[in-house]
Amino acid sequence: MEFDNSVPIYVQVINKIKRDIILGKLKAGDKMPSTRDLAKELGINPNTSARVYKEMERENLCYTKRGLGTYITESEERIELIRKEMAEELINKFIKGMIQLGFNHEDMVNFIRSKQ
C-alpha cells in the first residue's frame, strides 16, 4: 500500500478499512487479520497495525475477543453511521474551503459536473 507522507499511516490504514467496510468488502462480524498479518500485508510496523485496531476499537468499529482476534463490529447501524460521518466530513470541508475561496454552491455544482 502506498502512503501519503502528510497523514499518519495508521490514519490512512483506518480510512482504508472503513472504506472496505462501507463498500461491503468487509462485513459486520468479519474477522480481521492479526496485527502481525496486517503489518506484513501492508508493509508497516506491527506497532502501527496494533494502533489501527486500538483506535478502531475506541470508535466501536471493531472489538477484540481475547485470544481469538479482532472482529468488525456487528452493529449495522454503526457501519451505516461511518459512511454518513465520512461523507459529512468530506462535504463540510469541501464547502467550507470553496466558500473561503469565494465560490458559491452553484459554482461547486458546476465544478463537479465538469469533472464528470
Partner DNA sequence: GTGGTCTAGACCACT
Partner DNA sequence: GTGGTCTAGACCACC
Footprint of a copy of itself (CB under 8 A): 5, 8-9, 19, 22-23, 58, 63-64, 66, 83, 86-87, 90-95, 97-98, 100-103, 105, 108-109, 111-113, 115-116
Alpha-carbon gap, residue 113 to 72, rounded angstroms? 36
CA dihedral 77, 16, 110, 85 (to 10 degrees): 30
Task: Verify binding: residue 73, DNA, rule CB under 7 A.
Answer: no
Q: Rounded CA gap, 87 and 101, in Å? A: 21
Q: Does 36 bind DNA (CB under 7 A)?
A: yes
74 binds, among DNA, a copy of itself, none (CB under 5 to 8 A by kind): none
